[in-house]
Chains A and B, each alone.
Chain A
Amino acid sequence: MASLVGSRVERKEDKKLLTGRGKYTADVNFVNQTYACFVRSPHARAQIKKVDTSKASKASGVVAILTGADIANDKIGGLIAGWRIKSEDGSDMKVPAHPALANETVNYVGDHVAVVIAESLDEARAAADLVKVDYKVLKAVVSTKDAMNSDQIYKDIPKNMCFDWLLGDRAKVKEAFDNADKIIKIDIVNNRLIPNAMEPRAANADYNPSTEEITLYTTSQNPHLARIIISAFNGVAPENKLRVIAPDVGGGFGSKIYPYAEEVVCSWAAKKIERPVKWVADRTESFLSDCHGRDHVTHAELAVKNDGTFLGFKNETIANIGAYASVFATVTPTYLFGPCATGVYKMPAAYTNVKAVYTNTAPVDAYRGAGRPEATYTIETLVEKAARELGMEPSEIRMKNFPTQFPFQQTLVHSVDSGDYGAGMKKAMEIGDYGGFEKRKKESESKGKLRGIGFCTYFEACGIAPSPVVMMLGCGIGLWESAEVRFNPTGNVTVFTGSHSHGQGHDTTFAQIAADQLGIPIENIEIAHGDTDKGPFGYGTYGSRSLTVGGTAIVKACDKIVAKGKRVAAKMLEVSEDEVDFKNGEFVVAKSNKKKTIGEVAFACYLPGTYGEVKSPLPEGEEPGLKETSFFDPVNFSFPAGTHICEVEVDPDTGETKVAKYTAVDDFGTIINPLIVEGQVHGGLVQGIGQALYENCHYDESGQLVTASYMDYTMPRADNFTDFDLGFTCTPATSNPLGTKGCGEAGAIAAPPAVMNAVIDAIGTEISMPATAEKVWSALNKSKNKNSEAA
């Protein structure tokens, strides 16, 4: 049987998803169901003086109205920060209380104040309008840059600072800078983004008073994590009395990794009123209350020799984490950001200092790439500027500083197991026809357009992650993954994974892996995920981890199946175990025609009766059944890398900037399904280019979200793009048996600097993201005026 790993198998899940037969949380309905509508703060910062529900509670169809006082009375715990970061001075990070329904204060527009539960959605909404909240409005803190010098939001958190974190060695960096020929400096902003998953968040909680069990359907990338948090921290129900199901989920991009207030409230309320409670966010709620991404202000410096050798790197960043510290809000701008900020390069000395600040904006958490896009944008715009200032080719300065020996001990944390950055660069220049750029530039000029080219060479640490390492760094959970491979008696298989597919195509990729490992057709394999009552505990999907960590767990569980199968087959074939080989789904005995298929062995394991002369196929002490579980904890992160080259065309009359050519060459290690990987790259690029040219979350000075709908928040669309030219190199990862590295985040990591470097090349002046038409036009005018003044 030909290997399925490496084949372009069409996605098994698409028939269901593309024909409207998916089942999402909003599709789930219970008998006697009620509908929740949240009363949200219209103010960015205010004290709650009084919540008056008297009028609302008399409105038609109202079942219950619950407030912060009720949730406090029931001792339901608040939302948590999942990763403990220590400041440079050794002190712990500072975290404000984050009740699931606000009690004394509200801290961003959209903050959850009360919930109205009614017989119908319309009645819930109408009654929510009647809940009167008496606010004392306070001055909001909005600006990332000025947060430390603004009014103090929380009594116990001076300078609005969560932590002041350092990674690296300031003294060594100073020494390196003292010896530099030239110091390159940049001041950049990593613009704030709103994730905009296609499916809005939703929850539907059902409580059974006789068993005291809550079943919570929710839009989660990680139902097991939701269960443990809602049980252990919020205290809504013990884990054995809480079942969390994340059915089909329409995208997450990080924003659905962890439970939000709404899931906690619906679960608690369902138990309280003994009826199911359903909530589905409308799009405005999604804009206001989904965790946002990015939002950094960075000053960075690179010390170089005149020949382009890098000597040292400094990174001073302010990271806005919004009004509260969300679950992965504190790790995103630290351990996911700092180590990668030195890029792929040999960097003798480096440090990253991050001051995380609270503001009166929605919480900011992991968003596709989480920390690594910010890191890559920093180093790659800096390196390109160094090339310009030193008069070097962008490829030359990079090649000069690439490591060539692997494993490569990267400056700040990681030991990178494998890679070949030069090969990626060469291939990208070849596919992207770098040599033909000048000709294309002339063609653009003949049409009155400006053309620029930009490079980005990135690496990222994903395959998240070795549990002992992350727990040592402050993570509140392990990050291993589980798999259970269950043969059914008739020889087909269900694979349970603790990861979760919400667009990644696990039903296909994981089945390809299991089909190869077990030698059975892919049609005979189902992948099950997303239900805490099915399969073992797992850690879900984010950080490009599912294949590398979860896929490996499947391989390991299959190995155990084969090992048991060998013992059983040996007994059935009346030979010793070491005479049995497993090949293409068959247990064979060398130099004989004796064999048993894995299906026959599975059947025998479930029906261990007499088989010919053999009284029982099970060796003495062997249990019946054929089901194995594996928990895989990786020994290292994985390190995808690559080179992206972008060409843009700018219309100087309007400032409109279009991506004219985009080449991405990535090293994802072994590729299981190129079709799915290419789709992931395309999606990542669109998000990355979206950040560079279009998307921007904008709060006004009073903390109102101006970009709270698609009228004002520019989502990239198909007509904004050109075709992408993709290429791959492969240095297999050594930290997992598949050799995979992960591909989900790469596009979003690499694209912003590639695009922005191209824009800067085209217009000859630095500019911040997103490079909207007006910004580009103004920048061009400014430099035109400067030039005419100089002349």
Chain B
Amino acid sequence: MKTFNYHSAKDVKEASKLASSNSAFLAGGMTTIPSMKLGLATYKDIIDIKGIKKLSGIKVSGKTVRIGATTKHVEVANSKEIKKAIPSLSALAEGIGDPQVRNRGTIGGSIANNDPAADYPSACIALNAMIHTNNRKIDAEKFFRGMFETSLKSGEVIEAIEFEVPEKSSYQKYPNPASRYAIVGVYVAKHKTGVNVAVTGAKSCVYNEKNLSQVLTKSFSTSALDNVKISSSGMNSDIHASAEYRANMVKVFAKKAVEAC
């Protein structure tokens, strides 16, 4: 690992001020640190935001679940309040990585990194999440821009993610047998206003599978999905799964999710 300057920010303002084009915020470090160790990423400044108290914590109201950016996966997985309000969100957190990852990794880190196979971005899309930063509120649909790309600007710090509590929801994924990242993960959420089917792992970025969302908004049942064709165009293809296989899995796992709702 190349040497770097380490800063522990005492508040968001300081963190933002320290940021530059050659810096990274450090929360759980579950991607940042391995990337640095492998020489895939180098930074002049690492700005640790774990010490900023207000970035961590869970608040559940009747309609929303608000999770602070540096809240760890294990906290979401174990939160009694979230389990009651949006059980699928706790279940998703419980299925991220392994116990070591869940004990360090954070929700803010996950969505800021926007790995095409990460779990949380699908929750943001499916649950009409609002991403609160130190400057603004960003709609989840507008937040995830492409592979490892978000609409965050330099120095912008995610403070919290606010999810809308759905009528029912479920997240189902087929993990890569090696890495256990999602080859395909499908988050189905039924809101009063309609159904969202968010898909991760299948394409270069999480997306709302509108075909499925519309069909399920009309009729929320697995049989409604029977005749829907999912195109493999634009889907990832690698040694673990072809585009055609992923397209099939989107439908299979959408059905599983509807069934589990």
Contacts A653-B252, A698-B239, A712-B240; A777 near B245 (Cβ below 8 A): yes
Residues of B within 8 A of A728 (CB): none
Does A712 contact B245, Cβ atoms closer than 8 Å? no
Residues of A with C-beta under 8 A to B241: 774
Q: Is B245 a contact of A774 with CB atoms below 8 Å? A: yes
* CB atoms of A774 and B242 under 8 A apart: yes
Q: In the complex where A653-B252, A654-B174, A654-B252 touch, is A778 in contact with B179 (Cβ < 8 A)?
A: no
- Asked if B85 lies at the interface with its beta carbon under 8 angstroms from chain A, I say no
A731 proximity list for chain B (CB < 8 A): none
How far is the CB of A286 from the nearest CB of chain B, in Å? Answer: 14
Contact pattern, B 70-100, Cβ under 8 Å of A = 1, otherwise 0: 0000000000000000000000000000000
Contact between chains at B177 and A711 (CB < 8 Å): no
Expressed in whole angstroms, the minimum distance between the Cβ of B93 and any Cβ of chain A is 18
A283-313 CB contacts (< 8 Å) to partner B? 284
Residues of A within 8 A of B178 (CB): 694, 707, 710-715
Query: A704-732: contact bitstring with B at CB < 8 Å (1 yes, 0 no)?
Result: 00110011111100001000000000000
| A710 adjacent to B179 (CB under 8 Å) | yes
Question: What are 16 inter-chain pairs, A to B, with CB distance below 8 A?
Answer: A284-B38, A653-B252, A655-B245, A706-B239, A707-B178, A710-B178, A712-B239, A713-B178, A714-B178, A720-B177, A772-B240, A774-B240, A774-B241, A774-B242, A777-B245, A777-B248
Q: Flag whether B212 is at the interface (Cβ < 8 A).
A: no
Q: Of B38, B174, B239, which is in contact with the most chain A CB atoms at under 10 Å from its CB?
A: B239
B238-257 contact mask (Cβ, 8 Å, vs A): 1 or 0: 01111001001100100000
Given contacts A655-B245, A712-B179, 9 further A-B contacts (CB under 8 A): A653-B248, A654-B249, A694-B178, A698-B239, A710-B179, A711-B179, A774-B241, A774-B245, A777-B245
Contact with A along B1-21 (1 / 0, CB 8 A): 110000000000000000000
User: Which B3-43 residues have C-beta < 8 A from chain A?
Assistant: 38
Contact code string A649-672 (vs B, CB < 8 Å = 1, else 0): 000011110000000000000000
Residues of B within 8 Å of A715, CB to CB, are: 178
Size bracket of the A interface = 20 to 34
Produce 1/0 per residue, A689-711, CB < 8 A to B: 00000100010000000110011
Given A654-B249, A774-B245, A707 contacting B239 (CB threshold 8 A): yes
Report chain B residues within 8 Å CB of A656.
174
- Residues on the A chain within 8 Å of B242, using CB: 774
A residues 763-791 touching B (CB-CB < 8 Å): 772-774, 777-778
Cα of A720 to Cα of B174 in the assembled complex, Å: 14
Which residues on the B side are within 8 Å of A653 (C-beta)? 248, 252
Q: Which 10 A-B pairs have the closest CB atoms?
A: A714-B178, A711-B179, A774-B245, A714-B177, A653-B252, A774-B241, A712-B178, A698-B239, A706-B239, A654-B252
Report the nearest A residue to B255, measured CB to CB.
Answer: A653
Bound CA span A707–B176, Å: 13
Residue of A with least CB distance to B241: A774
> A712 to chain B: which residues have CB within 8 Å?
178-179, 239-240
B248 surroundings in chain A (CB, below 8 A): 653, 777
Closest to A711 in B: B179
- What separation, in Å, do the CA atoms of A777 and B252 have in the docked complex? 12
Closest B residue, CB atoms, query A122 = B1
Inter-chain contacts of A122 with B (CB < 8 A): 1
Chain A: which residue is nearest B179 at the CB level?
A711
Complex contacts, B176 vs chain A, CB 8 Å: 711
Task: Collect the chain A residues with CB atoms within 8 Å of residue B2's CB.
Answer: 126
Distance (Å) between the CB of B251 and the closest chain A CB?
Answer: 9
Q: How far is the CB of B255 from chain A (nearest CB, A)?
A: 8
A-B contact count (CB 8 A): 42
Interface residue count for B (Cβ, 8 Å)?
17
Minimum CB distance partner of A284 in chain B: B38
Question: Shortest CB–CB separation between residue B245 and chain A, in angstroms?
Answer: 4
CA distance A706 to B249 in the complex (A): 23
Q: What is the CB-to-nearest-CB distance from A706 to chain B, in angstroms, rounded to a whole number?
A: 6
CA distance A654 to B181 in the complex (A): 16
Q: Which residue of A lies closest to B37 (CB)?
A: A282
Per-position binary interface string of chain B over residues 30-71, scored 1 when its CB falls under 8 Å from any chain A CB and 0 otherwise:
000000001000000000000000000000000000000000
Residues of A within 8 A of B38 (CB): 284
Q: Which residues of A contact B181 (CB under 8 A)?
A: 711
**How far, in whole Å, are A713 and B179 apart by their CA atoms in the complex?**
8
- Select from chain A the residue with minimum beta-carbon distance to B2: A126
Give min CB distance, B177 to chain A, whole Å: 5
Q: Which residues of A contact B179 (CB under 8 A)?
A: 710-712
Which one of A698, A714, A778 contacts B245 once the chains associate, using CB atoms below 8 Å?
A778
* Chain B residues within 8 Å of A714, by CB: 177-178
**Chain B 181-230 interface residues, beta-carbon cutoff 8 Å to A:** 181
Minimum CB–CB distance from A708 to chain B (whole Å) comes to 11
Chain A residue at minimum C-beta to C-beta distance from B253? A654
Closest chain-A Cβ to B129's Cβ sits at a distance in Å of 27
Instruction: Convert B155-179 into 0s and 1s, putting 1 for each residue whose CB lies closer than 8 angstroms to a CB of A.
Output: 0000000000000000000101111
Complexed CA–CA distance, A710 and B181 (Å): 12
Taking CB atoms, residues of chain B closer than 8 Å to A778 are 245
Min CB distance A125 to B, Å, is 9
Q: How far is the CA of A711 from the CA of B176 in the complex (A)?
A: 9
Task: Report chain B residues within 8 Å CB of A654.
Answer: 174, 249, 252
A420-452 CB mask vs B (1 if < 8 Å, else 0) is: 000000000000000000000000000000000
- Alpha-carbon gap, A655 to B176, bound state (A): 13
Chain B contacts for A126, CB-based, 8 A: 2
Between B38, B179, B242, B245, the greatest number of chain A beta carbons within 10 A of the residue's beta carbon is seen for B245
Distance to closest chain B CB from A191 (angstroms): 13
How distant is the Cα of A694 from the Cα of B240 in the complex, in angstroms?
11
Residues of chain B contacted by A773 (CB below 8 angstroms): 174, 177
B81 to chain A, nearest CB (A): 29
Which residues of the other chain, A, contact B249 by a CB distance below 8 angstroms?
654
* CB nearest to B177 among chain A residues: A714
Alpha-carbon distance A223/B248, docked complex (angstroms): 52
A655: B residues at CB distance < 8 A: 245
Q: Mark contacts of A739-783 with chain B using CB atoms, 8 A cut-off: 1 yes-contact digit, 0 otherwise.
A: 000000000000000000000000000000000111001100000
Q: Name, among B178, B242, B252, the residue most crowded by chain A CB atoms within 10 Å (CB to CB).
A: B178
Interface centre among A656, A698, A777 (most CB of B within 10 A): A777
Indicate whether A772 sits within 8 Å of B177 (C-beta atoms), given known contacts A654-B249, A712-B240, A777-B248.
yes
Q: Which residues of A contact B174 (CB under 8 A)?
A: 654, 656, 773
What is the minimal beta-carbon distance from A702 to any residue of chain B, in angstroms? 15
Q: How far is the CA of A653 from the CA of B178 in the complex (A)?
A: 20
B229 nearest CB across to chain A (Å): 15
**1/0 contact string of A272-289 vs chain B (CB within 8 Å):** 000000000000100000
- B252 proximity list for chain A (CB < 8 A): 653-654
Residues 126-172 (chain A) with a chain B CB within 8 angstroms: 126
CB distance from A494 to the nearest CB of B (A): 41
Whether A694 and B177, one on each chain, are in contact in the complex, defined by CB atoms closer than 8 angstroms, is: yes
Instruction: Give A773 to B175 CA distance when docked, in angstroms.
Output: 11
Identify the closest chain B residue to A770 (Cβ). Answer: B177
Minimum CB distance partner of B242 in chain A: A774
Q: How far is the CA of A126 from the CA of B252 in the complex (A)?
A: 48
Alpha-carbon distance between A241 and B42 when the two chains are bound, in angstroms: 45
Query: For A706, what are the chain B residues with a Cβ–Cβ distance below 8 Å?
Result: 239
Report the bound CA distance from A715 to B177 in whole Å: 8
A772 vs B175: C-alpha distance when bound (angstroms): 13
Bound-state CA distance A772–B242 (Å) is: 12
Least CB distance, B94 to chain A, in whole angstroms: 14
A713 vs B239: C-alpha distance when bound (angstroms): 10
Contacts of A713 in B (CB 8 A): 178
A760 vs chain B, min Cβ distance (A): 20
Which residue on chain B has the smallest CB distance to residue A654?
Answer: B252
A698 CA to B178 CA, complexed, in Å: 13
Complex CA distance for A778 and B245, rounded to whole angstroms: 8
Rounded to whole angstroms, the CA-CA distance of A319 and B223 in the bound complex is 50
A693 — nearest CB in chain B belongs to which residue? B177
Complex: A772 Cα to B249 Cα, angstroms: 14
Closest B residue to A653 by beta carbon equals B252
Distance in angstroms between the alpha carbons of A750 and B168 in the assembled complex: 47
